[in-house]
Amino acid sequence: MTLKEIVINQINHKETKPIPFTLGFEGDVAIRLDQYYGGTEWRNKLIPYMVSVSAVHTMTRTKIDDIHEQDPYGVIWRMDRRPWYLEKAPLSKPSLEGYEFPTPESFFNPQIKETARQICENHKDKFLIGGLGWGLFEISWSLRGFENILMDSVINPDFYEELLDNLMNLYLAFVDYTCDLPIDAVMFGDDWGDQRGIILGPELWRKFLKPRWAKIYDAVHSKGKYVITHSCGSVVDVIPDMIEMGLDVLESVQPEARGMNPYELKKKFGDNITFWGGLGTQELIPYGTPDDIKKEVKRLCAEMGRGGGYILSPAKPLQPETPTENAAAVVEAFTNQD
């Protein structure tokens, strides 16, 4: 089987050996691993089952000064801290009066799309993903401010619906533009959850976000592509809704969040959705032992991979605080599956 076929088999709930995996690094982790292994040969073991491209850079920012950048929606971000954060939202009131949404065309760049097309052509044997960055919820709170948008969802629901409809229409145009590429899937990111549960609450999520994302998912499926969504935190309360909406793959699967134990999720929902992630980056990877990590990866491959429907990955890229020995344990466990 090609690398692409291995991933597709997993999404179609067919077992494969090995389990496909992805592994990312932040900060200096990869550089420390170069020093640990005495070179870069270890990097060649990271099999590229999946390759991501972008035809639409949904969050391109323009530099304002040494610490501030502005995105296409007019949001000003402060970039000199980790993580960067919202400095100024353009909608000071719950109204779109006087505000002009960016057009879909303002995000389109033929050169970027052609580069993406060439990458696809050079990696036909890989599972190809068209990335579409931030999602409806995240952009909506950046336009109003986090606290304001939560209050709008209760106090100003008509405004919030109008705001989300404008964003949905943008994303439907992004899907059309992206699906012209020879990709296998479209991936969205929209952090619906925190450690405790759905930030809006399940009922408001169902009212505001579910119907709009369902239309976007339908648009992707109409192009013959799979749908992948990244969401951090606890989203267990709406996984049945995701399945109803037609989500093919849920990415992150943060085991430290409430109800997100991957083995329990597999038992409850594993016949109807593929899970991508599940290795804890908040507790196990930074604070466990290398042996703990290797044992957990072995269990994930055995139990999550049973019957297909699993892609191995940490819930987040390996963070800067990851001890070098633990990062090496992740690499070795991923690349030396029994």
At 62-111, the pLDDT tens digits run: 999 999 999 999 999 999 988 889 999 999 999 999 999 999 999 999 99
Query: Is 168 inside any structural domain?
Result: yes
Contact criterion met (CB below 8 Å) for 213 and 160: no
Instruction: Tell which residue, 260, 267, 266, has the closest CA to residue 283.
Output: 260
Query: Is 180 inside any structural domain?
Result: yes
Residue 338 pLDDT > 80 = no
Query: Is 254 inside any structural domain?
Result: yes
Domain hosting 106: range is 3-60+101-335
Query: Is 182 inside any structural domain?
Result: yes
Helix (H) or strand (E) holding 116: helix 110-122
Residue 60: predicted pLDDT: 84
Residue type, 56: V
Query: Is 66 inside any structural domain?
Result: no
Residue-averaged pLDDT of the chain: 97
At 18-36, the pLDDT tens digits run: 999 999 999 999 999 999 9
Query: Is 144 inside any structural domain?
Result: yes
Supply the DSSP string of 132-155, one letter for each residue. Answer: --S-HHHHHHHHH-HHHHHHHHHH
Our count of domains for the chain comes to: 1
Query: Is 71 inside any structural domain?
Result: no
Q: What is the CATH number of the domain that holds 50?
A: 3.20.20.210
d(Cα 145, Cα 92) in Å, to the nearest integer? Answer: 8
d(Cα 57, Cα 142) in Å, to the nearest integer? Answer: 17
- Within 10 angstroms of residue 20's Cβ, the number of other Cβ atoms is 23
Contact criterion met (CB below 8 Å) for 129 and 53: yes
Instruction: Tell which residue, 337, 317, 270, 297, has the closest CA to residue 27.
Output: 317
At 134-167, the pLDDT tens digits run: 899 999 999 999 999 999 999 999 999 999 999 9
Supply the DSSP string of 5-25, one letter for each residue. Answer: HHHHHHHTT---SSPPB---B
